[in-house]
Structure 1
Amino acid sequence: MTALPLKRLDDVAALDLPGFDTEAARAAEARQMTLTKPPASLGRLEDLAAFMAGWRGVAQPRIDKAQALVFAGNHGICARGVNPFPQEVTAQMVANFKAGGAAINQLCRVAGADLEVVALELDLPTADFTAGPAMTEAETLEAMATGAAAVDTGADILLLGEMGIGNSTVAAALALGAFGGNAQGWVGRGTGSDADGMSLKARVIAEGVALHDGLSAMGKLAALGGREQAAICGAVLAARMARIPVMLDGFICSASVAPLFAARPEALDHCLIAHRSAEPGHRQLAEKMGKAPLLDLGMALGEGSGAALALTVLRGALACHNGMATFAEAGVAGA
């Protein structure tokens, strides 16, 4: 269990966060130059090996334990009619996760990740953010603490996902609050909104973001976010303190940590974005954060599904990095 030393949300700016181990990363890069392949021929797989080395602090990192966390919450903004499905679906999907029947269960099984689902007061939705803050500062800190406590400090990689009816609206609001632009540019179909539904979402988001304009970056997490978004932020910070790299899922997961980025960009240096979501706002969100998603498969499911798939790529990167022979070992003339 990892406790976050936060008494106020804005204390995030002063947290003592471990940095990247450049010596370990350089050692990993040096090893790549000795392996039986042309330099850089494995492309981003080589970059991933160095990334893992720098955050795990060893030249040949391994993934012996992968943890996947899916946080679930409900949202008061649904009272504005922004979602075509009732909020009861959140609890029903949580039950499906726990029974092993969702996509994330299958993908975690294939990728070798231990899945845990954390439901956050599903019977108590957050408030409508167009009428006031979605959460109090105390509620936000409590959700962040729950997310932090769920992190297994013995893990080598943390995969993050979410579930919550209405949270594509929340994600777009957080992205708009952090990076500006216009609401239409951040809005997508979510769980199946038609053109009229997307137009309504954009109006509601613009209204809510305008209401809370002027708040600090982390203040906007409380004002516009939900419990699962706050829990994701808490888990990201706890993972950083334990030097555990993080695989963020798609649009909603990436938008969940937009307040952290806005408050302190380097707080996400240990995070990868697993895939580019089909949600239209995700491309610009990833660009704003300076992170290139690993995969682009037209997915927009959530649940951490893209993160689980990306774990297989990361495992492949480390298998090559650690298992390939060097030119000397193979008796091959190197460059």
Structure 2
Amino acid sequence: MTALNPAFADIVELLTAVPDGDEAAVAAVRQRNAALAKPVGSLGKLEQLVEFLARWQHRSAPRLDNPMVTIFAGNHGLAAHAVSAYAPEATAQMVANMTNGGSAVSQICGLHEINLRVFELALEMPTGDIATEAAFEDKMAAATIAYGMEAVAGKPDVIGLGDVGVGSTTSAAAVFAALYGGTGADWAARGSGLDDAGLVRKAGVIDQALSVHAGALNHPLEVLARLGGREVAAMLGALIAARHQKVPVVIDGYVATAAAAIAHAVNPQAIEHCLFAHVSDAGPHGRVIAHLGQRPLLDLGLHLGEGAGAALGIVMIKTALHLHANMATA
């Protein structure tokens, strides 16, 4: 077993030395919940969402003055294997649609006053084809994680993490297979709407990647560098920075969950500040969430990506906090 590249040392330290939540803030929220004009505990998960905010914002009176959904866009060399219903050029088109307000996540965020930020991650330079080479070098993976940390520079009160990228679900599936075992067929999902033949190709690419990199998947960050994508690395960085800056995180779908899975594999406590917004229509997604010891907030049959599920999760949190702050007391 080779030693982990020193480029990852700081990342491992940040994932290991994570700050605890604020239980005194949670107690204050529970005290107010008990005083609201309603039966005790009758708002169920909505009450728990306010506790979640209080714990990870470290505020006895949590707030949502600056809720944010952040989308990372990346392209993948593996897209050459026709593992998606779309060509790689579609990633830039999806980014343009989001920034122009024409996407589902744009509309959700606009309606509910949630800030939306989109980061393009060198779309003109896809990651390496994981069926034949590493996605990117260790130093570039570490640099992309560091870049993702900048997502919290705008000081959001809560941040939703989502992605776009042709080939991203194939890369995420390879990450899950490397972390949890199994074959490509166990983890491949239809993603953008693959037909049966495409799903078989997708599973084959995952199996080939696992074989090619079998001797270099000894650490979760090596799994990321060999099999992951820029969007997963950047979301991991955002997740790490959010924990250290007291920002709760809302995870979107299958690909965003891969970032959480990498963090969890390094240190299970590193994702305690993460809420999983929904379970997607991709069958393996539910298995990953269960493996992480989490329960999704919503089950709407979504398989859209682009952070739409995370945005809806933030809508639920905003609703919960509004009730907590504005209901009458008994």
Give the TM-score normalised by the residue count of structure 2.
0.94
Taking the TM superposition and a 5 Å limit, the aligned residue runs for 1:170-249 are: 170-213=171-214, 214-249=217-252
User: What is the distance in 2 between the residues matched to 1:316 and 1:283?
Assistant: 25
Alignment correspondent of 1:332? none
Residue 254 (structure 1) aligned to one of 257, 265, 274: 257
Taking the TM superposition and a 5 Å limit, the aligned residue runs for 1:1-335 are: 8-15=7-14, 16-213=17-214, 214-327=217-330
Instruction: Give how far 1:126 is off.
Output: 0.5
User: What is the distance in 2 between the residues matched to 1:216 and 1:51?
Assistant: 30
- Kept in 2, the 8 Å contact 1:32–1:321? The answer is yes
Instruction: Give how far 1:242 is off.
Output: 0.7
Letter in 2 for 1:204: V
Instruction: Give how far 1:100 is off.
Output: 1.4
Instruction: Give how far 1:11 is off.
Output: 3.8
- Kept in 2, the 8 Å contact 1:9–1:219? The answer is no
Residues 271-321 of structure 1, C-alpha deviations (whole Å, 9 max, x = no match) = 111111001111101101111111111111000001111111101111121
- What do you get for the CA RMSD once the two structures are aligned? 1.5
- Kept in 2, the 8 Å contact 1:185–1:280? The answer is no
Aligned residues: 322
Residues 192-220 of structure 1, C-alpha deviations (whole Å, 9 max, x = no match) = 11111111111211221233234211110
- Kept in 2, the 8 Å contact 1:22–1:54? The answer is yes
User: What is the distance in 1 between the residues matched to 2:90 and 2:161?
Assistant: 20
- Kept in 2, the 8 Å contact 1:83–1:166? The answer is yes
Give the TM-score normalised by the residue count of structure 1.
0.92
Secondary structure of 1:257's aligned partner: helix
Letter in 2 for 1:33: A
Letter in 1 for 2:199: M
Instruction: Give how far 1:106 is off.
Output: 0.3
User: What is the distance in 2 between the residues matched to 1:138 and 1:174?
Assistant: 19
Residues 159-187 of structure 1, C-alpha deviations (whole Å, 9 max, x = no match) = 11101001010111111112223322211
Letter in 2 for 1:13: V
- Kept in 2, the 8 Å contact 1:53–1:59? The answer is yes
- Give 5+ residue unaligned stretches, structure 2: none
- Kept in 1, the 8 Å contact 2:11–2:142? The answer is no
Letter in 2 for 1:113: I
- Give 5+ residue unaligned stretches, structure 1: 1-5, 328-335
- Kept in 2, the 8 Å contact 1:10–1:219? The answer is no
Over the matched positions of the two proteins, sequence identity in percent amounts to 40
